[in-house]
Amino acid sequence: MSQTPDLSPLLAPQDAKAGAEHGINAGEFQIILDRLGRQPNLVELGVFSVMWSEHCSYKSTRRHLGKFPTKNDRVIQGPGENAGVIDIGDGQACIFKMESHNHPSYIEPYQGAATGVGGIMRDVFTMGARPVALLNALRFGDPEHEKTRRLVTGVVSGIGGYGNCVGVPTVAGETNFHRGYNGNILVNAMCVGLAKADSIFYSAAPGPGLSVVYFGSKTGRDGIHGATMSSAEFDDESESKRPTVQVGDPFAEKLLIEATLELMASGAVAAIQDMGAAGLTSSSVEMAGKGGVGIELDMDAVPQRETGMTAYEMMLSESQERMLAVLKPGREEDGYRIFKKWGLDAAVIGRTTDTGRLVLNHHGKVVCDVPLAPLFDDAPLYDRPWVQPELHPRIDPKDVPAPDSWPDAVLNVVCCPDMASKRWLWEQYDRHVMADTLQDSATGADAGVVRVHGTDKGLAVTSDCTPRYVQNDPYEGGKQCVAEAWRNLTAVGSRPIAITDNLNFGNPQRPEIMGQIVRAIDGMAEACRVLDFPVVSGNVSLYNETNGVAIPPTPTVGAVGLLPNYDVTVGFGGMAEGETLVLIGETRGELGASLYLREVLGREDGAPPPVDLALEKKTGDFVRDRIEAGALTCVHDLSDGGLIGAAADIALASDCGIELDATSPEHAHILLFAEDQARYLVTVADPATLIAEAQAAGLHASVVGRAKGRDFMSGDLFRIPLDHLREMHEGWMPNWIQG
């Protein structure tokens, strides 16, 4: 007969010092004392620590996130649920979200990235959607840094290992390198799913007296304190935090997806929530809190894969592939039948109550009894002090010298680590499983495109951020993140609908960092309003710092657009010999914070290009109309690298040479390398008609080159054989990986 373990360590009253060890400051600990009227025990302190972490409570940013527009005529569910939901017509909905797994991926790259993919999929299918597409936005340190190669190979293997096994295609993303990420890499994962618009599932428990069911994998000790770890800075000892990184099992996730969707289809589900950050604590608190009820759990009933686990460990574990559901009265057996069919562990571990409290029983004793309100909707909320970030002055293009060597300048920009082909990376991802992928990393397009199965519709998806712009002017940089996402969706012919975001910044307790956060959100919100591009979900990742050095501010935007007819789409890989290249949009010569400045002149100064949002909308709507009319063979938005970057992409993707028209050794670099916004490079057989239509619409358009031969060239400035350009462009990453 087993003895009841000694629970006294769990029940012992905890003081402010213990609070500090759990990431709770003195002021917050006093609030706990005031709310409870006593000292918390260890279990209660653990529960407060994860729910009040930055990761779960958004305590530093909530005031500012309210600036985002969150509605338009297609939004079904905005922020506040597991993921955002938009209406795509015909009784169908698209459900999507982006989240970070930055800290875990730095400490343990494979599992950190893998569980990031698993976690974001659970956010989507817990609302009733079948995942149909994955994206990722990755930022790594300097390629020469001693850790970068190991981190890249580990993260990419983790993303591919998990996504490929689950059977969801990874269709798009972005990868950047900069020394500012040496101490903190960013791994942002996005998932897009499809559901019936009338079968969306929510997390709010509908009332008291209902069974709370745990199903999925057993609970272990992995991931304990994961949420609090992700809400703290790194230091030289961070490698020791490996035990706080979760371990994923993609095959268990696949079973979990199928079981969850079948359970939903059975009609047994009253509310459902995945277990992500803060595990069982977060899922139970959110379900009860959103429903305005209480919840009582029997910790002894929780399926456990390790012996002797305490209530503290079970509540804070972030073991993967687990769900929590509230079932309708009398439907427990239906649940058990489905879980048994899919080979999942399951147990009724508690009931909803009318007390408004979280009560935990463990070995016959109450080890936690706290009100839900301070955990859920009454957590600390800060209005942190901030200062306007120092803004860089605009650089007059006349003051930027032309390159000493034109061929070297072109190759340095087009083949730099940010711009070079990432084939080595995306070839490790299954991009075509499910057989609905139309555009992906290999096809040459500004956004991934997947068919809405069984219809003529397609979904366009993209992820975008230009951190060097945000660094030099967070407001304009924030606008640009949203505008570029909108442009990328437009460039494939889709109608942009909504965004999710992942706001990656340093320590918000530093006024200069908080200033970056506030101004970036201001810029993003303004762009969302003008472009009718609301935010429906998102994630905030703060404290991305090591030894006091913060990452470049990186507010990543994931976006979704709708193609009414997926046959009417275009990429930038369809140019044919003899076609003309037309630049739509005006070039003023914005070279501040440009790749030319960084890669050719070794500078990172200057104001980023300003974003005229009204012009973005006008230009994008015109280009989309031309795509829908079938008038354009190739479309590529201009962003990194300006005209040179876009033209090189088109030449390589189309396997056809390009002759550009710039000829002036003194001034051509302004046209070729400037990164002015609201511009598209398109190819047509009849440029005169297009230019006349653009002018009639009040837009600037001009011929800038033609498809010709097997060289990438411009006048007498440079002539680079296309095969050599491809060798350099394709070769950087595999050569670097091989060392």
Known catalytic residues are: 55, 101
- The helix-helix angle for 42-51 and 26-36 (nearest 10°) equals 120
d(CA 528, CA 613) in angstroms, rounded, equals: 9
Q: What share of the chain is helix, strand, coil (3-state, %, to 5)?
A: 35, 25, 40
Residue 442 burial (C-beta neighbours within 10 Å; 0-12, 13-18, 19+): middle
The Cα-based distances of 513 to 293, 301, 387, 554 in angstroms read: 38, 44, 8, 12
Q: Which of 189, 317, 321 is nearest to 253 (CA)?
A: 321
CB atoms within 10 A of CB 738: 8
Instruction: Note whether 635 and 596 are within 8 A (CB).
Output: no
CB atoms within 10 A of CB 292: 17
CA atoms within 13 A on the CB side of 716: 3
Q: Tell me 12's DSSP state.
A: S
Burial profile 81-120: b = 16 or more Cβ within 10 angstroms, e = fewer: bbbbbbbbeeebbbbbbbbbbbbbbbbbbbbbbbbbbbbb
Q: Tell me 591's DSSP state.
A: -
Long-range contacts of 372-375 (CB under 8 A, 24+ apart): 372/285, 372/288, 372/289, 372/294, 372/295, 373/289, 374/31, 374/32, 374/35, 374/48, 375/47, 375/48, 375/51, 375/52, 375/285, 375/289
User: Sign of the C-alpha dihedral, residues 169, 171, 172, 177?
Assistant: positive
d(CA 29, CA 175) in angstroms, rounded, equals: 41
**Across the strands, what pairs with 545?**
550
Find the helix or strand (DSSP H, E) in which 414 lies.
helix 406-414
d(CA 551, CA 186) in angstroms, rounded, equals: 9
d(CA 142, CA 146) in angstroms, rounded, equals: 9
